[in-house]
Amino acid sequence: MSQRLADMRRNYAREGLTESQAPEEPFALFHQWFGEAVKTEQAPVEANAMTLATVDGDGRPHCRVLLLKGLDTQGFTFFTNYDSAKGQQLAARPFAAMTFFWPTLERQVRIEGRVMKVSHEESDAYFQVRPLGSRLGAWASPQSQVIADREALEGLLKATEARFSDTQPDCPEHWGGYRLVPDRIEFWQGRPSRLHDRLNYRLVDGQWTRERLAP
């Protein structure tokens, strides 16, 4: 098995990433790369899928794949249950890292920074445009808690459907958005011979600095 995995190599042969192609601040470059990923990545890859890493109170890291749901000059927004494992970890240590990987383009972006909750109004605005099933699921599922079996979960959903049979579900207090406010964003472009391009942006005294990292 180890030999077979060692033989699984991919030759990165797309265009590079030079300083002349990179703006002074990272958001414009992320918007460009994200737009290209939306056009090129094919199912089952979702361009807005990212790995989110958090740390619990004991310093143990945890990773999971989520979907990015918002991006502006303030940061990167995702939504979840505040009582979930990730929500408790962010309450204890409000820092996180996220990684986007776009294999067709041979690119990844690594983002690190502080995480804070968005306003309830922003969470509710997004909640209301979700499909009804997703809204009911947000009420029904005690995310990350141990449950007896699948039937127990379906029973919770049926009870929730009955609860909201005559009204639309509003946004629960235990559900909403987080915004990762970055202080570091690294753009990685695959290159031949594993000599990849890595341009790293760091926020220093309120200003972005750009530097090249060795692969």
67 is in an annotated binding site: yes
Specify whether 150 is located in the same domain as 184: no
Mean per-residue pLDDT, 97-118: 97
198 is in an annotated binding site: yes
Specify whether 97 is located in the same domain as 15: yes
Mean pLDDT rounded to a whole number for the chain: 93
80 is in an annotated binding site: yes
9 is in an annotated binding site: yes
**What tens digit of pLDDT does each residue of 135-184 get?**
999 999 999 988 999 999 999 999 999 999 999 999 999 999 999 999 99
Instruction: Count how many domains the chain has.
Output: 2
Active-site annotation holds for 202: no
196 is in an annotated binding site: yes
pLDDT surpasses 70 at 2: no
Mean per-residue pLDDT, 111-132: 96
Specify whether 115 is located in the same domain as 150: no
Mean per-residue pLDDT, 79-100: 97
- pTM summary value: 0.90
pLDDT surpasses 70 at 1: no
Specify whether 38 is located in the same domain as 137: no
CA–CA separation, 140 vs 134, rounded Å? 10
Among residues 60, 107, 191, 194, the one annotated as catalytic is 194
Specify whether 87 is located in the same domain as 156: no
Range of the structural domain that residue 198 is part of: 9-127+173-212
**What tens digit of pLDDT does each residue of 8-46 get?**
667 776 789 999 989 999 999 999 999 999 999 987 789
pLDDT for 160 equals: 96
67 assigned to some structural domain: yes
